């Protein structure tokens, strides 16, 4: 009986110990894994950008004038030399009551001046007639010997003086008439002012109307923009990069234009502008940026639907490698001395593996040393994972 009791209690104790050992034994940590692969790797700089017609011409008003309503619309195609707008002389300004009274008084004075000039012309004409009659009488007397030659010379000079006085009086009358017309023009109603001949404004190039700054009729000063003309077939992309990124975007770099509503478009960096500028980010941080100009490589048919000022995403490729060892960037984490490491799975356990990364982009990293294709690595390792820890791959 005692022996049987000992066996029962002994078995119970063993079972309890086994249960406790199983309960407190370390369990495998569930993890997500990815397979190290070989493939094409690209490292790039991604930035929002916008399209822009490369050569845009702003047509402006050459002189102060009145614009006739423009009949063109955005998108209309024009040829070099076509009339895109017409200008008329500007209408005179309206005058107030005081100025009107002053102008009326000047007009009355001008009319009086015309009358005075007319009287002076008549007086000068009479003087000419009188001098001519006197000269004729003395010439008859001179033929009979009663008048000397000196007397005739004096009378001839007197006639010429009277004629010149008559011409001067007529010139004074003409000047008085012009002053009268000038004074009358001030009082002429605005609606009855003569508009004159229209001045055509012509297109400088073959292209498309991009924007009309002033459509309706208006009186404009010299230099006022009327419209912009450009050739949409000569499109470029402008990206504003941080100066730290722009040093890698050298001319000739391959660019992929994405997220514009169509298939990706190939491009190439044409120029990095030499001067940077300060731009405040959405978070209120001042950034030094520089404009990078990108040429589109595909035929215009591939991106013709893009217009001027469209928003796109420019991905400038700074590094491209074939047959690179690739791992997800989520598998890497900081390691000693500023390096990187990953956990590879070996026999159901996590093994800490330092790696040398040659490049990385938003989703993948190019591993130069430390991992081999076909190995499994832990993606986003939880804090409980350590070197030698048993792990269990979480099934999707």
pLDDT in tens, 221-234: 999 999 999 988 88
Tell how strand 56-60 and strand 265-272 pair up.
unpaired
Q: Which of 97-111, 176-190, 267-281 has the highest mean pLDDT?
A: 267-281
Q: Which tokens is 258 given?
A: 């994405």
User: Which residues fall within 8 angstroms of residue 312, CB to CB, at 6 or more apart?
Assistant: 48, 49, 50, 51, 237, 257, 258, 259, 260, 306
Has residue 257 got a pLDDT over 80?
Answer: yes
Q: Are the CB atoms for 283 and 273 separated by under 8 Å?
A: no
Percent of the chain residues topping a pLDDT of 90 = 42
337 or 334: whose pLDDT is higher? 334
Per-residue model confidence (pLDDT) at position 262: 86
pLDDT of residue 182: 83
> Hey, which of 162-171, 320-329, 330-339 has the most confident mean pLDDT?
320-329
Q: Would you give the distance in Å from CA 346 to the centre of its chain? A: 58
Give the torsion through C-alpha atoms of 369, 373, 379, 384, to 10 deg: -70
pLDDT-based confidence at residue 149 (cuts at 50, 70, 90): confident
Residue 238 has pLDDT above 70, yes or no: yes
Where is average pLDDT lowest: 63-72, 98-107, 259-268, 331-340? 98-107
Q: How far apart are CA 26 and CA 233, in angstroms?
A: 67
All structural domains of the chain with their residue ranges: 39-52+232-393, 66-91+195-230, 97-192
**Residue 282 φ then ψ, to 5°:** -65, -20
What's the pTM value of the predicted model, to 2 decimals?
0.65
Bridging pattern class, strands 254-258 and 207-212: unpaired
Q: What is the DSSP string of 10-37?
A: HHHHHHHHHHHHHHHSPPPEEEEEEE-E
pLDDT confidence band for 72 (50 / 70 / 90): very high
- Of 177-191, 220-234, 287-301, minimum mean pLDDT range: 177-191
Contacts of 391 (CB under 8 A, 6+ apart): 28, 29, 30, 31, 345, 348, 349, 350, 378, 385
Q: Which two tokens stand for residue 267?
A: 């491009």
CA 41 to chain centre: 35
Structural contact between residues 150 and 138, judged by C-beta atoms closer than 8 angstroms: no
Whether CATH 2.40.50.100 fits 66-91+195-230: yes
Q: Do β-strands 29-35 and 391-393 pair in parallel, antiparallel, or remain unpaired?
A: parallel
Predicted local confidence at residue 59, as pLDDT? 94
Task: Work out the average pLDDT over 264-283.
Answer: 92
- Residue 4: which pLDDT band, with cuts at 50, 70 and 90? low
pLDDT at residue number 274: 93
User: Check: CATH 2.60.120.380 for 39-52+232-393?
Assistant: no
d(CA 267, CA 16): 72
Q: What is the pLDDT of residue 215?
A: 92
The burial class, CB within 10 Å (0-12 / 13-18 / 19+), for 7 is: exposed
């Amino acid at each position: 009986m005692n022996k049987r009791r000992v066996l029962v209690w002994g078995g119970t104790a063993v079972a309890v110990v086994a249960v406790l050992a199983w309960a407190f034994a370390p369990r495998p940590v569930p993890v997500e894994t990815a397979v190290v692969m070989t493939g094409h790797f690209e490292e790039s700089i991604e930035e929002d950008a916008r399209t822009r017609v490369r050569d845009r011409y702003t047509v402006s008003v050459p002189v102060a004038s009145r614009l006739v309503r423009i009949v063109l619309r955005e998108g209309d195609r024009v040829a070099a030399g076509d009339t895109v707008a017409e200008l008329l002389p500007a209408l005179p300004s309206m005058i107030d009551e005081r100025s009107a009274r002053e102008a009326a008084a000047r007009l009355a004075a001008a009319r009086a001046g015309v009358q005075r000039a007319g009287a002076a012309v008549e007086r000068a004409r009479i003087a000419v007639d009188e001098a001519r009659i006197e000269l004729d009488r003395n010439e008859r007397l001179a033929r009979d010997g009663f008048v000397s030659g000196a007397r005739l010379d004096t009378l001839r000079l007197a006639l010429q003086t009277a004629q010149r006085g008559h011409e001067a009086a007529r010139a004074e009358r003409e000047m008085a008439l012009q002053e009268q017309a000038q004074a009358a023009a001030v009082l002429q109603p605005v609606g009855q002012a003569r508009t004159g001949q229209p001045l055509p404004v012509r297109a400088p190039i073959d292209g498309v109307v991009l924007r009309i700054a002033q459509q309706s009729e208006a009186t404009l000063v010299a230099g006022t923009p009327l419209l912009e003309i450009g050739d949409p077939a000569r499109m470029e992309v402008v990206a504003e990069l941080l100066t730290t990124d722009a040093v890698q975007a050298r001319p000739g770099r391959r660019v992929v234009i994405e997220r514009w509503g169509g298939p990706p478009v190939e491009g190439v960096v044409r120029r990095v502008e030499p001067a940077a500028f300060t731009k405040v980010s959405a978070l209120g941080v001042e950034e030094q940026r520089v404009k990078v100009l990108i040429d589109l490589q595909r035929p215009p048919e591939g991106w013709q639907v893009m217009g001027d000022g469209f928003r796109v995403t420019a991905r400038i490729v700074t590094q491209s490698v074939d047959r690179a060892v690739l791992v997800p960037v989520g598998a890497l984490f900081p390691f000693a001395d500023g390096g990187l490491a990953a956990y590879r799975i070996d026999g159901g356990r996590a093994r800490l593996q330092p790696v040398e990364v040659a490049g990385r982009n938003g989703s993948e990293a190019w591993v130069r040393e430390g991992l081999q294709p076909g190995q499994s690595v832990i993606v986003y390792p939880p804090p409980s994972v350590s070197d030698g820890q048993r792990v269990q791959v979480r099934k999707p």
